[in-house]
Amino acid sequence: MTIPPQSTRQKIPTGVWVLGFVSMLMDISSEMIHSLLPIFMVTALGTSVLVIGLIEGLAEATALIIKIFSGVISDYLGKRKCLAVIGYAMGALTKPLFAVATTTGLVMTARLLDRTGKGIRGAPRDALMADIVPAQIRGAAFGLRQSLDTVGAFLGPLLAVGLMLLWNNNFRAVFWVAVVPGSLAVALLFFGVHEPESPQTNKRSNPIKRENLKRLGVSYWWVVGIGAVFTLARFSEAFLVLRAQQGGIPVAFVPLVMVMMNIVYALSAYPFGKLSDHMSHKALLVLGLIFLIAADLVLAMSDHWSVVLAGVALWGVHMGMTQGLLATMVADTAPEDLRGTAYGFFNLVSGLAMLLASVLAGLLWDQLGPSFTFYTGAMFCIIALIGLGWQPIFKIVKK
């Protein structure tokens, strides 16, 4: 039975909305920095694209790998919110390091610490989401949180553009302003989210004991594998920013590329999340890969600003189709008391794939050029499509 849009919105718990606004504020803070960081590193610090790819890969891999530990701890304690608050607070406290950085090494340190905070909060927050939301509207809820998160991801670059124009390309001043929304995110989470009581009354066992890991069945591990292949096919978005710079877009306007992607992402995440509650997950994943192939091919063709914006918009549709969906699929295939661990393992494998993809993209960019980099991304997408065709895993997950 199809749930009317208004009815779905009314059923989504308040805690989901609060978590969405927390994500939005932290993304405003992060994207004010990250939308400018590749250009800052190249122009102000003289960093090579290969090193940027390495830093981005290590940073994202760090966040995703740490999620396994925070997820396991949240399952063992039966508490999610405390770890989420610690993670968001750590992210907020690292923002000033970008403003004072004078070397690539300090930027790398700040980036790794920032992503460590993301790793600490990620799996407990997603598990908390799954604990709060009824199963029948889980896709819509994850899509809503992702949409609000992504609103922050385009407001951040917009603020960065405005402040860069106002302050004559003063990167460091913009980085200082980013401290404010990060701090507000921590306060909203601390005071605005109430964790539901755990129904488990017996003593909790180690979530990564063999007998517990066996409870993560075949369908869950296939979701993990699919998530890794998707990550491998989609390297760091820092390369979208660098592609825009090649087309001669003024430095102050380069963050508008991320604004474009995230507007499309925000507008598509909730509708596709809601759709995933009522249709084949496999069909949505295939369609998402097709959009990513199209994005890669468009970005490989030309660095003209209009072509880059078209490619980035396609990239945003792909993100809207797949990111909330993969999070929903993890919740659907994992036992309730192991959701933190399940998100942790999912992100561990995706983190390793992100590291490999970003380093490879940076190497290809430096050695063979940006076009070859995006053609390679399209090739990985085709491999993922073949893999989806071979394995009927979604008969287990969702028909």
pLDDT attached to residue 87: 92
d(CA 138, CA 193): 18
- Cα 17–Cα 340–Cα 274 angle in degrees, nearest 5: 40
Domain boundaries, the chain: 14-195+208-397
- SS3 for 236? coil
Phi, psi of 214 (to 5 degrees): -65, -25
**Contact by Cβ (8 Å): 154, 26:** no
pLDDT, one tens digit for every residue, the chain (399 residues): 344 444 444 578 888 899 999 999 999 999 898 888 888 888 888 888 788 878 877 887 777 677 778 878 888 787 888 899 999 999 999 899 998 988 888 989 999 999 899 888 887 888 888 888 887 888 888 888 888 887 887 788 889 888 988 888 888 999 999 999 999 999 999 998 888 776 554 445 566 677 777 778 788 888 888 888 888 777 777 788 788 877 777 776 777 777 788 788 888 888 888 888 777 788 888 888 899 999 999 989 888 888 888 888 999 899 888 888 888 888 888 888 788 888 888 878 887 787 788 888 888 888 888 888 889 888 888 888 887 776 554 443 444
d(CA 23, CA 88): 9
The set of residues, in sequence order, having a beta carbon less than 8 Å from that of 309 and lying 6+ positions away, is 257, 260
CA atoms within 13 A on the CB side of 26: 30
Domain 14-195+208-397 fold: Growth Hormone; Chain: A; (1.20.1250)
d(CA 240, CA 242): 5
Please state the pTM of the whole predicted model: 0.67
pLDDT attached to residue 399: 40
pLDDT attached to residue 398: 45
The set of residues, in sequence order, having a beta carbon less than 8 Å from that of 63 and lying 6+ positions away, is 115, 116, 118, 119, 122, 347, 351
**Burial (CB count within 10 angstroms: exposed 0-12, middle 13-18, buried 19+), residue 287:** middle
As given in the structure block, the two tokens for residue 115 are 């992503």
As given in the structure block, the two tokens for residue 6 are 């208004």
For the chain, first and last CA: distance in Å?
Answer: 14
State how far Cα 369 lies from the chain centre. 26
d(CA 146, CA 300): 28
Q: Which long-range contacts (CB under 8 A, 24 or more apart) does 301-306 make?
A: 301/371, 302/247, 303/243, 303/244, 303/246, 303/247, 303/370, 304/247, 305/244, 305/247, 305/248, 305/249
- SS3 for 270? helix
**Contact by Cβ (8 Å): 20, 333:** no
**Contact by Cβ (8 Å): 197, 132:** no
d(CA 292, CA 68): 27
- What's the chain's length in residues? 399
- Cα distances from 322 to residues 1, 92, 327, 359, in angstroms, run 23, 27, 9, 23
d(CA 260, CA 263): 5
